[in-house]
């Protein structure tokens, strides 16, 4: 198969760099265009940012020139890691000009005709793109970085027992704030109990993701979520402590069974073989030990026990820039290709 040319919007940022890392040697996609803000435009990539990934940057990308965020004929898909202050309009312009935009930003997530997708959870919601106003282009979004792990843990419970209420406390890594993000003076020896706009996203996005596609709309799942979001001194990997009230009675065996038997390998280049793992060891999961499982695409759950307020509680972990951002976006693009949506757009 000839590789599909792709662009990375916001290529210099935390998510943009992760896109560049994950797209290197991708079997279906090839980076042909990179964009960022005015301050980076016209520079070689290597001179416009400090590479913060663990793997070496290829010579080819290092020497690519950063372009303005304007659509061109040099690519079909645009992966967006743009700052949300500018993402909304730029992504719309790209979709209008016939590009397939896969976004990490909050701007279009809750638009009625925009799918908010975690491929293993609600890949069927991609149907919504057929209702979009763009002639050949489209916008597909992936959820907030804390929501992705949460929704993946909840989906099996929703399907098997039904979920009524959730109380969730997140402990979010500093890379979630981009680069340079929170200053080291503020975060070391500290926990910051506020992340702007985050609790609203955690309380609303899962309702859309877990909702049902009905003709051309998503009927949101009915449940109540209360979220506390905290920034902690971890580099990568968002943790969450979750309490759930279920609609049906369940025992711990049934819950673990539901979570671990629900997901199958989607058999896409970026899909994990085991998307969700349950740990019996009560000290697990931990960011330092488990965030990179399945190349950062696995969600880890542990410490399932009775909750005296709701029914059950557990801990969960997911890698925020991989499963929670660039990795999920890449998987969305792969699923679009597999389902034939991108071929359609290429016609
Ligand atoms: P970041 O490190 O601050 O990167 C922002 C990117 O946007 C940079 O490439 C920056 O380019 C570019 N940019 C800023 N202003 C621009 C403008 N006026 N025109 C064009 N490009 C502009 O942020 P991030 O953490 O990567 O997050 C990117 C997006 O993903 C955000 O919407 C964020 O909410 C979302 N997200 C982040 C995570 C995470 O874990 N970090 C997870 C999920 C979703 P310059 O370098 O040239 O300024």
Mean pLDDT of 172-177: 98
Atom 47 of ligand 1: nearest residue by CA position: 37
Mean pLDDT of 213-224: 96
Query: Residue 164: is its pLDDT beyond 80?
Result: yes
Mean pLDDT of 114-134: 97
C-alpha of residue 15 to centroid of ligand 1, in Å: 7
With a 6 Å cutoff on the Cβ, whether 156 touches ligand 1 is: no
- Residue 346 has a pLDDT of 46
Of 11, 13, 148, the one to substitute when testing ligand 1's pocket (max ligand atoms within 8 A of C-beta) is 13
Mean pLDDT of 238-257: 98
Q: Is the dihedral angle over the CA atoms 206, 300, 84, 31 positive or is it negative?
A: negative
Query: Residue 347: is its pLDDT beyond 50?
Result: no
Distance CA 339, CA 325 (A): 21
Residues 6+ apart with CB under 8 A from 134: 95, 96, 98
pLDDT in tens, 64-123: 999 999 999 999 999 999 999 999 999 999 999 999 999 999 999 999 999 999 999 999
With a 6 Å cutoff on the Cβ, whether 13 touches ligand 1 is: yes
Report, as residue numbers or ranges, the catalytic residues: 145, 238
Distance CA 233, CA 175 (A): 10
Atom 3 of ligand 1: nearest residue by CA position: 178
- Residue 1 has a pLDDT of 73
Task: Tell how far CA 286 is from the center of its chain.
Answer: 19
Confidence class for position 344, pLDDT limits 50, 70, 90: low
Query: Residue 169: is its pLDDT beyond 90?
Result: yes
- When the pLDDT of each residue in the chain is averaged and rounded to a whole number, the result is 97
Q: Which is higher by pLDDT, 270 or 1?
A: 270
- Residue 135 has a pLDDT of 86
- For residue 11, the ligand 1 atom closest to its alpha carbon is 9
- For residue 14, the ligand 1 atom closest to its alpha carbon is 26
C-alpha of residue 176 to centroid of ligand 1, in Å: 10
Mean pLDDT of 265-289: 98
Distance CA 188, CA 227 (A): 23
With a 6 Å cutoff on the Cβ, whether 148 touches ligand 1 is: no
Do the beta carbons of residue 146 and residue 209 sit within 8 Å?
no
């Amino acid at each position: 198969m000839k590789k599909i040319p792709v662009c990375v919007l916001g290529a210099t940022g935390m998510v943009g760099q992760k896109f560049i890392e994950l797209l290197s040697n991708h079997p279906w996609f090839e980076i042909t265009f990179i964009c960022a803000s005015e301050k980076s435009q016209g520079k070689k990539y290597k001179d416009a940012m400090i590479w913060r990934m663990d793997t070496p940057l290829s010579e080819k990308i290092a020497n690519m020139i950063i372009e303005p965020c304007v659509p061109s004929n040099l690519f079909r898909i645009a992966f967006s890691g743009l700052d949300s202050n500018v993402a909304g309009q730029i992504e719309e312009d790209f979709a209008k000009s016939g590009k397939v935009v896969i976004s990490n930003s909050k701007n279009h997530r809750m638009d009625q005709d925009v799918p908010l997708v975690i491929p293993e959870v609600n890949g069927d919601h991609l149907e919504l793109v057929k209702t979009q106003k763009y002639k050949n282009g489209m916008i597909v979004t992936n959820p907030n970085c804390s929501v992705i792990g949460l929704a993946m843990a909840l989906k099996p419970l929703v399907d098997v027992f039904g979920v009524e209420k959730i109380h969730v406390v997140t402990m979010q890594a500093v890379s979630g704030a981009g680069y340079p993000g929170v200053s080291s003076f503020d975060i070391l020896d500290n926990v910051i109990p506020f992340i702007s706009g985050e609790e609203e996203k955690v309380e609303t996005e899962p309702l859309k993701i877990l909702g049902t596609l009905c003709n051309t709309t998503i009927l949101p799942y009915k449940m109540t979520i209360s979220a506390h979001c905290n920034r902690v001194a971890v580099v990568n990997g968002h943790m969450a402590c979750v309490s759930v009230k279920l609609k049906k009675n369940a025992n711990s065996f049934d819950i673990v069974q539901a979570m671990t038997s629900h997901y199958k390998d989607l058999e896409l280049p970026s899909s994990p073989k085991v998307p969700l793992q349950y740990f019996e060891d009560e000290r697990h999961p931990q960011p330092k030990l488990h965030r990179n499982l399945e190349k950062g695409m696995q969600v880890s759950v542990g410490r399932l026990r009775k909750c005296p307020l709701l029914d059950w509680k557990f801990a969960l972990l997911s890698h925020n820039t991989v499963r929670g951002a660039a990795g999920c976006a890449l998987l969305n693009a792969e699923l679009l290709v597999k389902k034939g949506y991108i071929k359609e757009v290429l016609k």
